[in-house]
């Protein structure tokens, strides 16, 4: 494994256990058997490390499922696939999305903009599919920006209440939200 | 106005502007023309102040709408009323719910339990209504615990994206979510 990946994995693990603010870089270095100077060789600051973790998680879990979803020609199937996979692969395996969303406030403005650009692709994927359904008379005449935030809200709120020790609940949860959201919209 | 109310209002205002962690009690005291000892006469700690603000907000904006909603004999109307009022009176007027939800982690365990008990009443109101609809054959055979979290998620996620300068959008937003959620569930 690449050294940066190893550092990101370990740092995320420590942030999840003790909190981002409460974990000094010196503890991250120690857990990896590195000196603090050794860690600074890879990341110029704690903010830089947080950004790299966030971007890497997006590249590993969010972008591949966006790209898979984009292959569905039917807009309703595209939304269903995206919501389902987002719940199964991003929201329910562990609480890392919660941490990353909450700590976005600690990112520098330019880094935040780069992260938001990736999240925005998920927003656009859903919204464009809903507009396509509406144009084809297959969805109601609703405000599709609000509807898109509604779908993302149902899915993302999971990190506030999900019991991660009950992984077997995830597929039923995904089916329930896809069913409610898509049936709620369609004519 | 009661002195405690005055302190809570001013403190909430300062927390919303500068953040909870970043606002020392001395600044709250100063903004009220009180000494720090004068403030301690009313609140024994910053945690106590945060708790009182949260509980008071729940008593002012959440409990009255719960009690109004409970009067609707029809379960679908009860859910629609509750979601709509929750969006209009708690989620869209200002970002205080976001602050309170995020800072729950800074509450003492016993205080957190008291706050959670009030939020739980909203959860139960929706879930019981959905179970009633299901028993009457008016809602699909879905997991109503997940569905309830879905409704609360759509509504609560609003604090992550809503533009508070666009108050005129709130009624359409409320209508959109009630429509999607209830149509999505019903047979």
Q: What CATH number labels A47-185?
A: 1.10.357.10
Q: A95-147: per-residue pLDDT in tens?
A: 999 999 989 989 999 999 999 999 999 999 999 999 999 999 999 999 999 99
User: Using a CB-CB distance cutoff of 8 angstroms, which residues of chain B are in contact with residue A182?
Assistant: 184
Residues of chain A with CATH 1.10.357.10: 47-185
At B105, the pLDDT band (50, 70, 90 cuts) reads: confident
Cβ count within 10 A of residue B88 = 16
Classify domain A1-43 at the CATH superfamily level: Homeodomain-like (1.10.10.60)
Residues of chain A with CATH 1.10.10.60: 1-43
By three-state DSSP, how is residue B23 classified? coil
Token readout for B140 is: 């699909």
> Does the predicted interface ipTM exceed a cut of 0.90?
yes
CA–CA dist A12, A28 (Å, integer): 9
A154 and chain B: CB distance < 8 Å anywhere?
yes
Return the percentage of chain A with pLDDT > 70, whole number. Answer: 99
Contact B142, A184 (CB under 8 A): no
CA–CA dist B144, B124 (Å, integer): 11
Q: A27-63: per-residue pLDDT in tens?
A: 999 999 999 999 999 999 999 999 999 999 999 999 9
> Are residues B161 and A149, on separate chains, in Cβ contact within 8 Å?
yes
Query: What is the value of pTM for the model shown?
Result: 0.94
Read off the pLDDT of each residue in A143-158 and give the average, rounded to a whole number: 97
Handedness of CA A130, A135, A137, A140 (dihedral sign): positive
**Option in B157, B183, B185 nearest A156 (CB):** B157
Domain B46-185 has CATH 1.10.357.10: yes
Residues of chain B with CATH 1.10.357.10: 46-185
């Amino acid at each position: 494994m690449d050294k940066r990946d190893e550092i990101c994995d370990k740092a995320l693990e420590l942030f999840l256990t003790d909190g981002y603010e409460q974990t000094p870089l010196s503890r991250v270095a120690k857990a990896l058997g590195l000196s603090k100077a050794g860690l600074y060789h890879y990341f110029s600051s704690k903010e830089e490390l947080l950004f790299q973790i966030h971007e890497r998680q997006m590249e590993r879990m969010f972008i591949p499922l966006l790209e898979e979803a984009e292959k569905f020609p039917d807009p309703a199937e595209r939304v269903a696939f995206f919501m389902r996979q987002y719940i199964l692969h991003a929201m329910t395996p562990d609480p890392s999305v919660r941490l990353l969303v909450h700590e976005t406030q600690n990112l520098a403005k330019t880094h935040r903009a780069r992260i938001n650009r990736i999240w925005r692709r998920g927003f656009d994927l859903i919204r464009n599919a809903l507009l396509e359904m509406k144009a084809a008379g297959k969805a109601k005449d609703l405000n599709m920006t609000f509807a898109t935030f509604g779908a993302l809200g149902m899915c993302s709120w999971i990190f506030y209440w999900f019991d991660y020790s009950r992984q077997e609940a995830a597929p039923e949860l995904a089916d329930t939200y896809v069913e409610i959201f898509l049936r709620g919209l369609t004519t």
